[in-house]
Amino acid sequence: MEEFNLKIDKKTNFAVLRTEGYINNLGGERISQEVDKLIEQGIINIIINLEKSTIVNSIGISILIEVIEKLVDLGGKIFFCNLTKTISKTFSIMGLTQYSEIFETEEEAISNMSK
């Protein structure tokens, strides 16, 4: 089983979460916990960079949907970037793109976050 790691880079009005490894129930829960901590600090705009995560299972997706709903309810934004083609297509099919946006690169996501 591939170990899951998460790095958080807090900016002025948003945070970038860089994942590494399989986003399953454990990875998804870790993302959710970290987003909860950021919300407590007043950060409700999040970029999740999946460059080093090539697999997201259904449980991971369901947890990400909960994270999206939580941020949208608070008036925040969530962007994803550096997705594989398969993950991008899966996110679209599962409806994650209805309330979030996908960008090719972290730089694009950061640029759009300040709009």
Share of the chain above pLDDT 70, in %: 98
Q: Quote the domain boundaries for residue 101.
A: 5-113
Instruction: Tell me the per-residue pLDDT of 90-110, one tens digit each, with 9 for 90 and over.
Output: 999 999 999 999 999 999 999
Q: What is the CATH number of the domain that holds 52?
A: 3.30.750.24
> CB–CB of 17/53 below 8 Å?
no
Split into its structural domains, the chain has a count of: 1
Instruction: Tell me the per-residue pLDDT of 82-92, one tens digit each, with 9 for 90 and over.
Output: 999 999 999 99
Band of pLDDT at residue 114, cut at 50, 70 and 90: confident
In this prediction, residue 3 carries a pLDDT of 86
> CB–CB of 88/102 below 8 Å?
yes
Whether the predicted pLDDT of 1 surpasses 60: no
